[in-house]
Chains A and B, each alone.
With several copies, the nearest count.
Chain A
Amino acid sequence: MIAVLFFGPVVERGGSAELKMAFSLGMTLQNLRDELAARYPYAFEIVCFTAVNGQHVRDLSMPLADSSEVTFMAKFSGG
């Protein structure tokens, strides 16, 4: 399973802070993103950062490992 986390403005547009998604061998971050973006198009309009296990990832072709924690995030507004 892949744990997907959403925060703040993305939760507001997607309705859920945490999801479990099925893991399949060879799946990439882009595959996961595409699947979620089709389900939550309004939320993904504002997604501009992606993290895997708490690290920024820019290359969405990255293969995912089972049990990864993946976060799709809106532009930050802390500080």
Chain B
Amino acid sequence: MKDVVRIQSDDFSQDEEIAALKASSKRMGGIATFIGCARDFSEGRAVSEISFDAYGRMAVSEMQQLRLDAIARFNLLDARIVHRICTVSAGDNIVFIAAGAEHRAAALDACRWMIDELKARVPIWKKEITSQGDSWVSPHP
């Protein structure tokens, strides 16, 4: 069984992740997931590829803590987070978040909270590669 929180270069399978999530409980009535993908266009420019840099050790420990925080805050039955660190093309998967709860509201709330928190507290940086050159992405405050 793969870890509940991972940084990896390879793509992930939603089917595998959801099966692993569901294995934790038969009381799970709702599963919300979020998948972030590479877009072919950003801030008015065509983007050919996106690459990432990460403070790997801290990124994994922050994601582990984030998962535990979400489970406690939303009373989840289980949650999983996978973030790819590699170079991806338009349409490729970047991040996967899943939250499973007894009822749908908690799962949906937790999924949104987790992706928002991940962006705010996990040390990963994205560089957009365009025909006019590369640039690190500065999130809007």
Task: Tell me the interface secondary structure of chain B in the complex.
Answer: mixed
Number of A-B contacts (CB under 8 A): 75
From B94, B121, B127, A76 is in contact (CB under 8 Å) with: B121
0/1 interface trace, chain A 1-37, chain B, CB 8 Å (1 if under): 0000101110110000000000000000000000000
A8 and B139 within 8 A (CB): no
Pick the residue among A5, A56, A71, A77 that contacts B125 (CB under 8 A).
A77
CB-defined contacts of B137 to chain A, threshold 8 Å? 77
CA distance A57 to B98 in the complex (A): 28
Chain A contacts to B: CB under 8 angstroms: 5, 7-9, 11-12, 46, 49, 51, 54-56, 71, 73-79
> With contacts A71-B55, A73-B123 known, what are 17 further pairs, Cβ within 8 A?
A5-B55, A7-B54, A8-B125, A56-B121, A74-B138, A76-B124, A77-B119, A77-B124, A78-B52, A78-B119, A78-B124, A79-B36, A79-B83, A79-B94, A79-B115, A79-B118, A79-B119
